[in-house]
Structure 1
């Protein structure tokens, strides 16, 4: 018996309170009717209650985030404290630490986690074999580059230092070495905190500057890095001393053109030197404090001033300051149009007194410096072939015949085809091995790039005349270069030899980045294993030859340019050290230890009153690095033997 439509309609309006589906509703029970109304069972939605396991996982994640933020803040504070002691460094803003208090409710926990995730920068988890593992040792990277790996692990990183400690059993950080310490800025150490305006702008007598300039233009430093030319220097010098007798000079207020000229002369005094290192540092500090007078508007005077100050910092191994000044110089030379080749005026083959050729010469100095800065610091190059006219100047073509006889050709030696082609090669090396795109390459692609770059380096080496051509293998019996005073050809020969070894080391040590997954699994394919060992052998031979070459000619190099000793020695020693860590039980580890011992003794024997304080500091930096890497290498060998027993 079915109910009528009215009952059905009323039933839809009646809220049935029956708990059991089989029981009749109140309406049907009261009227003794069979209840035919079927009610859908209401399913109660389960509340999203946080399980204990979920809460524990969230707590663990939040603790990880807090730890990451805390570590980031401590690193930032340490870098800020270090950068305050280094001139022209860029200070990173420390990441604020999130103060999280957790309540017992799941809602409070979720809100806290959301706040932490929104306030915390992203720190991607990078596998150990990835070349993008962050390296916090920025000072070391700024000096030695990004080509250092051991079993796929970046050596100059925090995890790399931990790996060194595990292999040697010794506490070690690269910041412990003299070469990578942060020193007080030249501005703080060379000038008092408050300098009277008149004293800040003071220059020596014009006659004194003229005598220093005459000696400088005849020196090898001017031939190696010709920022200045005599004609333009005399013009700026006259402008700097134009109003020295006026009342404006006594008050320390000058017209803009004279202010820029005075800063220019101070930078020249810091570059030229006068036998007193403290005087050079004082003028460099003045230029640093007055740099805004020459960089506000792009000009040739400003560009030359920046390049001279950069060269001073380069010789003092202030790498952070070098990089920042280099960026300013590159942007300024492009703003002036130096990246576009301008034709030489008719009737003059060089015409250095003309703005166009002088600007083009400064561009080439910036371009060559750009390649060195990018490889050593790991930062992208600023001047590349896509945006610059790299046509070799016609007035330099005579050097391709190997003629270095007259004074003009010596002054242009920095722009020889051998050096320019080497710079083109360095740009290619960075693009194919160290750019962001290159960091995504598979092992096979990396090995192919290494082989192609090796062929390109050999083509470059073969293009050099026999008198200057570098060699891969150099024995300890090779005679040291004579490098007669003013001998531009000898200077170029030494430079090409050291740069060839450096390029071979940089390219072939990168092979240690390959095979990380296979090394962990213990199953390295034979072809990959053979390719890795082949490149390692080449880089080790280049590094060994570098140490032998520097050891035999260190006295000559120190007189010419002591920066060669610290940098090239560090690169070669770190290459041998990486091999000792990777193969501590190999017989050649003892050979590398012997080479480090020999190089250390020979460099230490150079110390004496014949060198300047700056040169002695640079030699001591190299000696300190060799001694520490030698000690750690011995510890790695001893620990490997103990583990076997």
Structure 2
């Protein structure tokens, strides 16, 4: 046993089996009836499944395994003993009130308050009073302090220009130090009575986790927020009365949107099941959405929240996961999968056509003039979300058993091939759109956006290998190369100083490996005797 003034001995060997780190369950890549690979694997196991190795070898005559990863390619690598949270010094006390008020000014004079309406101006005054008070219950003070730390961490991560802020720049702070201080106070929020600051803190930290690429952390925090939201009944309240009840309903919608997005990114089940929630939209939400989407700093600030994503699209995301990627969805027959794909595709198209024409996503993206291109990050995310949903809906047809059967009706196979074509075309549109919109993307959003191009790149890679004789193969390889450059540009604009170039290397290596392998597949098709 170590005395308090002694340092514990360093353990030079690997940890015992009973304390080894567990990995989230893997996600399988399906394409045209084949189980190609594994997105989340132990570092010692190749990313390609045996069936995927056979699939590639049968088409190219060569085997080049995908990079070995211990995390999905759109997630940041877990911190090590020398890089990560352990080296961040903790803060001893709350920031000065004057500094906090400057961050509040930034929040209220920019788009953040519309996209992430996590704090209410009048209710947050109570949070400040509780945090800075020398009296009162310890739990209340700790929850309020955690909320302030998490709030300032989120605001500090935003690009001052991209969010359309009209307030002066506040003094810089250590974002990750503030995040760690808020996380250190989490026990007070989960072991004691419910309160508004605890819910706000969990959501603010979940958003921060998504922004810095720590999706597993974001899921844990979203689940904490979801449980507390359900405990206070905000998930079923359709007509809230009073400022606090109205704000709790707003927090429900933020949590709902986060929950649906994280499930599609990670494959893990929802925390807020739609069947358990009242999904009546906020008053006049749809009617006012167009004006809110077109908001700019020079216009009058529209009232009401915008949320991270159109809430109607969040509901469609929920149905995509439940119908195609939940446990019950993965157990569906071919006929049931095809029916779900058609229904979801129709629903997504109804949503698309409901968007005002000037900002509506195109079915197939073509290069746009600057005058018609999206002008803010919300519109960029809306387009990326749309193309990602099309990809995820139609990619599910790749696991149908009909691809392997010799007795499948020709009509069914024609439908599956068409569905796969939609998936590939949506992936192309996503990468082209991101290439065109790269200059609009704000600093600090790299890890949030990375899921979109990486999932599209995987789809296009599989299509190149499967259809290496097609005229589109060379053009798609060029698209992979452009996507690699776009990814590098987005990363290099990061405002978070802890983001070193070393964190970009696994991402670019992954894309480069796919591009190299795709080139070999096309080369083998053009020169079958070599």
Residue 440 of structure 2 is matched in structure 1 by 556
Larger Rg: 1
From 321, 346, 362, the counterpart of 1:455 = 346
Instruction: Check conservation: 1:596, 1:630, Cα contact below 8 A.
Output: yes
Residue 148 of structure 2 is matched in structure 1 by 265
Q: Which has the higher contact order (CA 8 A, sep 6+)?
A: 2
Distance in 1 of aligned mates of 2:211 and 2:465: 32
Distance in 2 of aligned mates of 1:492 and 1:213: 21
Instruction: Check conservation: 1:480, 1:553, Cα contact below 8 A.
Output: no
Superposed counterparts of 1:112-127, under 5 Å:
none
Deviation at 1:363? Answer: 0.5
SS in 1 for 2:220: helix
SS in 2 for 1:153: strand
* CA spacing shift, 1:313–1:187, aligned 2, 3 Å: farther
From 52, 66, 80, the counterpart of 1:172 = 66
Residue 153 of structure 1 is matched in structure 2 by 35
Deviation at 1:209? Answer: 1.4
Distance in 1 of aligned mates of 2:81 and 2:174: 11
Instruction: Check conservation: 1:152, 1:514, Cα contact below 8 A.
Output: no
Distance in 2 of aligned mates of 1:466 and 1:579: 31
Instruction: Check conservation: 2:47, 2:67, Cα contact below 8 A.
Output: no
Distance in 1 of aligned mates of 2:383 and 2:16: 41
Deviation by residue 1:334-360 (Cα, 9 ceiling, x = unmatched): 011111225344xxxxx6xx2100110
Residue 184 of structure 1 is matched in structure 2 by 79
Superposed counterparts of 1:85-234, under 5 Å:
91=22, 138=26, 141=27, 148-153=30-35, 155-156=37-38, 160-166=48-54, 167=56, 168-175=62-69, 179-180=74-75, 182-184=77-79, 189-191=84-86, 201-234=92-125
From 317, 322, 331, the counterpart of 2:218 = 322
Q: Does 1:528 align with 2:412?
A: yes
Residue 267 of structure 2 is matched in structure 1 by 378
* CA spacing shift, 1:480–1:611, aligned 2, 3 Å: farther
Distance in 2 of aligned mates of 1:555 and 1:78: 48
Residue 167 of structure 2 is matched in structure 1 by none
SS in 2 for 1:394: coil
From 572, 591, 605, the counterpart of 2:475 = 591
SS in 2 for 1:155: strand
Distance in 2 of aligned mates of 1:637 and 1:155: 20
From 376, 388, 396, the counterpart of 1:502 = 388
Distance in 2 of aligned mates of 1:563 and 1:180: 7
Q: Report the TM-score when normalising by structure 2.
A: 0.81
Residue 362 of structure 1 is matched in structure 2 by 251
Runs of 5+ consecutive residues of structure 1 not aligned to the other structure: 1-75, 84-90, 93-135, 249-253, 346-350, 485-489
Distance in 1 of aligned mates of 2:479 and 2:212: 27
Deviation at 1:534? Answer: 0.3
* CA spacing shift, 1:644–1:276, aligned 2, 3 Å: farther
Q: CA RMSD in A?
A: 3.5
Distance in 2 of aligned mates of 1:634 and 1:395: 51
SS in 2 for 1:337: coil
Runs of 5+ consecutive residues of structure 2 not aligned to the other structure: 1-14, 40-45, 57-61, 158-169
Residue 412 of structure 1 is matched in structure 2 by 305
Moved more, 601-610 or 374-383: 601-610
Deviation at 1:411? Answer: 4.9
Distance in 2 of aligned mates of 1:226 and 1:623: 34
Instruction: Check conservation: 2:36, 2:51, Cα contact below 8 A.
Output: no
Superposed counterparts of 1:378-457, under 5 Å:
378-394=267-283, 396=285, 398-399=287-288, 402=291, 409=302, 411-414=304-307, 419-457=310-348
Distance in 2 of aligned mates of 1:480 and 1:548: 17
Instruction: Check conservation: 2:435, 2:483, Cα contact below 8 A.
Output: yes
Deviation at 1:154? Answer: 5.3
* CA spacing shift, 1:548–1:480, aligned 2, 3 Å: farther
SS in 1 for 2:414: helix
Distance in 2 of aligned mates of 1:257 and 1:150: 55
Residue 295 of structure 1 is matched in structure 2 by 190
SS in 1 for 2:174: helix
Instruction: Check conservation: 1:338, 1:359, Cα contact below 8 A.
Output: yes
Instruction: Check conservation: 2:257, 2:314, Cα contact below 8 A.
Output: yes
Count of residues paired in the alignment? 485
SS in 1 for 2:213: coil
Residue 332 of structure 1 is matched in structure 2 by 228
Deviation at 1:78? Answer: 9.1
Residue 461 of structure 2 is matched in structure 1 by 577
* CA spacing shift, 1:641–1:480, aligned 2, 3 Å: farther
Q: Does 1:513 align with 2:405?
A: no
